[in-house]
Amino acid sequence: MDAALQREARRLFGPDVDLHASAKRPLESAEDVEGQLATEADGSPDGGDAPEPATPSRPLLRSELRQLWTHVGRTVDFWRSLGEIEPGAVARLAALTARHQWEVLFLTQRPPSAGETAQVQSQRWLHAHGFEFPSVFVMRGSRGRVAQALAIDAVLDDRPENCLDVVADSSAIPFLIWRLRRDAVPPGVGQTRIQTVYSMGEALDRLELITAERSKSRTLFGRVKSAIGL
pLDDT at position 219 is: 56
Task: Tell me the whole-structure pTM to 2 decimals.
Answer: 0.77
pLDDT at position 190 is: 82
pLDDT tens, position by position, 5-25: 889 999 999 999 988 775 444
Through-space distance between the first and last CA atoms of the chain, rounded to whole angstroms? 46
CA dihedral 209, 102, 166, 160 (to 10 degrees): 60
% the chain with pLDDT above 70: 79
Under the banding of pLDDT at 50, 70 and 90, the label for residue 215 is confident
pLDDT at position 220 is: 52
Q: Are 107 and 137 in contact (CB under 8 A)?
A: yes
pLDDT at position 218 is: 64
Fold annotation for 89-217: Rossmann fold (3.40.50)
pLDDT at position 25 is: 47
Residue in 95, 169, 102, 176 with CA at minimum distance from that of residue 139 = 169
pLDDT tens, position by position, 143-186: 999 999 999 999 999 999 999 999 999 999 999 999 988 889 98
pLDDT at position 56 is: 65
pLDDT at position 47 is: 45
Q: Are 83 and 49 in contact (CB under 8 A)?
A: yes
Residue in 90, 77, 1 with CA at minimum distance from that of residue 43 = 1
Parse the chain into domains and list their residue ranges: 2-80, 89-217
pLDDT tens, position by position, 83-113: 999 999 999 999 999 999 999 999 999 999 9
pLDDT tens, position by position, 20-76: 775 444 444 344 333 333 323 333 344 444 445 445 688 999 999 999 999 999 999
pLDDT at position 156 is: 97
Alpha carbon separation from 94 to 58, 102, 118 (Å, rounded): 39, 9, 21
CA dihedral 111, 147, 158, 105 (to 10 degrees): -70
